[in-house]
Amino acid sequence: MDATDKKLLELMQIDSKKTTKELSSKLNLSVTAVYERIKKLEREGIISKYATILDRTKINKGFVVFCHIKLIKHSKDLISEFEKEVVTLNEVLECFHVSGDYDYILKICVKDMEEYREFMVTKLTTLQHIGSTHSTFMIGEVKNSTSFVLN
C-alpha cells in the first residue's frame, strides 16, 4: 500500500459515496487509476465492506449498554456455542472476546431501559453457559469513529 492508496482510503473513510471522478480530482489521478486502486484494495481485503451509518437516536436505539459476560466454563465447545447464539441477537451490535474478569463485552443498543430489561429477561439470559452479567450504561458519547489514521 503506497501513499496514494492511503490518501484514497482516508478520503473514502470520510465519505464513501464520493465518485471515482471526485476522488480522481483530489488525488490528481485518472478515473481509471482510482477505480483500479479501489478494486485492488477490495481484492486484498483492505476495504472489507461499505456501510451506511445511522443516527441511533433517530431510529429509537439511543440507549447504549455495555454488558460484560462471564461464562460458567471455558471449553472450546461452550465458547463456540455462545458465540453462535450471541451473533443472532439483533440488539447486540458488537461482541468482543476479552481477557480479564469477564469473557465477553457486548455493545447493545435498544430504545430505553424497559426494552433492555425485556432483552435481558427474554433473550440474553436464556443463552446457555452464561455464569454472570454486569451491565454498564452509556451516559454520553465522547468519541465514535469508524476511521483509521493510516501512517
For residue 45, how many other CB atoms are within 10 A of its CB?
Answer: 7
Give domain status of residue 116, yes or no: yes
Give domain status of residue 48, yes or no: no
Residue 135 has a pLDDT of 98
Give domain status of residue 144, yes or no: no
- Residues linked to residue 20 through DSSP beta bridges, in sequence order: none
Give domain status of residue 72, yes or no: yes
Residue 128 has a pLDDT of 85
The residue written with cell numbers 471522478 in the block is 21
Q: What is the mean pLDDT of each run of 10 residues along the chain (151 residues)?
A: 97 96 97 98 97 96 98 93 97 98 98 98 94 97 94 88
- The verdict on pTM exceeding 0.85 is yes
Locate 91 and state its grid cell: 440488539
Q: Do 65 and 128 belong together in one domain?
A: yes
Q: Do 36 and 64 belong together in one domain?
A: no
Work out how many domains the chain is built from and give that number: 2
Residue 103 has a pLDDT of 97
Residue range of the domain that includes 122: 56-137
Q: Do 82 and 129 belong together in one domain?
A: yes
